A and B are shown apart, each in its own frame.
Chain A
Amino acid sequence: MRVLKLAFTYLRIGIANEMQYRVNFFIQLLQSFVSLGTGLIGLALVYNYTNELGGWTRPELLAVMGVYIFMGGIINAAIQPNMGRLMEEIQAGTLDYALTKPADGQVLVSIREFRVWQLVDVVVGLVVLGIAVDQIHQRIGMLETLEFVAALLMGAVMIYCFWLMLTSTAFWIVRVSDNIINLFQGVYAAGRWPVTIYPNWLRLGLTFLVPVAFAVTVPAETLTGHLQPLTLLEAAGLTLLLVALARLVWRLGVRNYSGASA
């Protein structure tokens, strides 16, 4: 309960902060449309030469892109800014200020930043997804919707855990910040296409090493009839595992942290 209240307070501060810079909204809008445009061009180029890619038709791939943009918006609004700040503070030794506060350290470092304008991508993603679903002509009932929401939630949690573990490497290796963000964005871009088209080793990597498959492909599968019966159970299992693992890595990291000022 206390955690929720805390999260809500930080959310409010974050939004209030961003509201001071309303031009950023238009800049974000432009950027979202530019990246949507390049994504659509890539898709159009591929379907210029073929009718299906690894069993996925064009509207189905559009659905994948919708989820990809949506999840990207969530990551850029709520996950990446927090992790970026955490990384800087570990390097500068100012994480002391967060760790000494009377709340759980992991919770605190995960909720401090919120970039509200990035939610433009969430809206754009939903619109793209809506258009795709309309083109697919597959009936989407209550069950599919529930599966979709569950898959999205688990995907977001997995990405968060993965990010936290990646960021925690800063406790041991200095000077990684920009490169880690770059590394993550590079790998996340693989989610633009369904992971089923990748060669086995890469697909396994994108499923278990970096959970892009569960964050993007699986939610899209729930809406396009590609979902295998056991996939959601696997997702739940992996989510629990990652949550525990991330907690462990964070703890080890904090124990290794010595601060700079204190």
Chain B
Amino acid sequence: MRHYLDFYLTSMKIAIQEQFQYPVANYFYMIGMIAEPVIYLVVWSTVATLQGGTVGGYAPGYFAAYYIVWTLVRNMNIVFTPYGWEMRIQRGQLSGELLRPIHPLHSDVAYFAGWKVVVIVLWLPLAACLALIFKPSLNPTWLQVVVFFIAIWGAYLIRTMLLSLLGMITFWTTRVGALYELFFAFELILSGRLVPMALMPGWVQTISAFLPFQWTFFFPINALVGNPTTPDLLYGLGMQLVWIIAGIFFARIVWRLGIRRYAAVGN
């Protein structure tokens, strides 16, 4: 246990130092990402105003808060991509990682977790600018703030597991780009990334209740900007835990099956 902790702390430290060297690159990345929620925000605020102030019970201030917090949650959702797995497996880079006495997933989780610290720090001034422009209505209780901070890390872990599972498909077949795109499209609609879940038709909400996506996106955002009850918050954290455990479970199985098929290419 001790050496895992050591490993995580060191990897995170390296990631933090490495990423702080490229603030411009990181900012370009984040600004590019901000365009998407700003578009949704403008569209839905316009619709709300046209409808006499609210749409689906939400006022423009809620949308502003939702999509500003969205930017942080989206950043927390960035993990080692399936395309990275594709490259790692196709080019045989995995061979080197297999020689280390620690599972490769640990280094992904640790490195990106360190990067997140940089992202959160860089995000704060961006969020302040967005808040000045769009005037969100945000008055969470302390409990909501605490749950939010736990939930964004829960979201990070769930999405890491999901995308790793997707990436590991490359053990069986190359060229999985189209499959990924399909996955991202489903995720866009079922996670709350496009609109708050309550604006979706009832049947979409029913489907998404059985899937992990909304716990990585809608739940953390709504935990902070909505009016969830305490049982809602606890239930959400519980569901995150369930999906993290399920993710780790399946990742282990797929990893075991996949690694048997892995034949190093290149080196």
Contacts and interface: CB of A to CB of B under 8 A. Distances in A.
Determine if chain A interacts with chain B. Answer: yes
Interface of A: 23, 27, 30-31, 34-35, 37-38, 41-42, 45-46, 48-50, 52-54, 173, 175-176, 178-180, 182-187, 189-190, 192-193, 197-199, 202
A95 B178 CA distance: 32
A53 B50 contact: yes
Interface in B170-222: 175, 177-178, 181-182, 185, 188-189, 194-195, 199-201
Contacts of A184: 32
14 contacts: A30-B181, A34-B185, A41-B189, A49-B51, A50-B51, A52-B50, A53-B47, A182-B29, A182-B32, A186-B32, A186-B33, A187-B32, A189-B39, A202-B38
Given A49-B56, A198-B42, A27 B47 contact: no
B21 to A, nearest CB: 9
Interface of B: 22, 24-26, 28-29, 31-36, 38-39, 42-44, 46-47, 50-51, 55-56, 175, 177-178, 181-182, 185, 188-189, 194-195, 199-201
A229 B47 CA distance: 28
Nearest to A53: B46
B119 to A, nearest CB: 13
Given A31-B181, A184-B32, A186-B32, A23 B175 contact: yes
B25 A190 contact: no
A31 B47 CA distance: 29
A27 B178 contact: yes
Given A45-B200, A49-B56, A189-B36, A34 B29 contact: no
A45 B32 contact: no
A23 B35 CA distance: 32
Contact of A182 (B33, B175, B182, B189): B33
B182 A176 contact: no
A175 B29 CA distance: 12
Contacts of B24: 173, 176
Nearest to A175: B25
A182 B181 contact: no
Contact of A38 (B26, B188, B199): B188
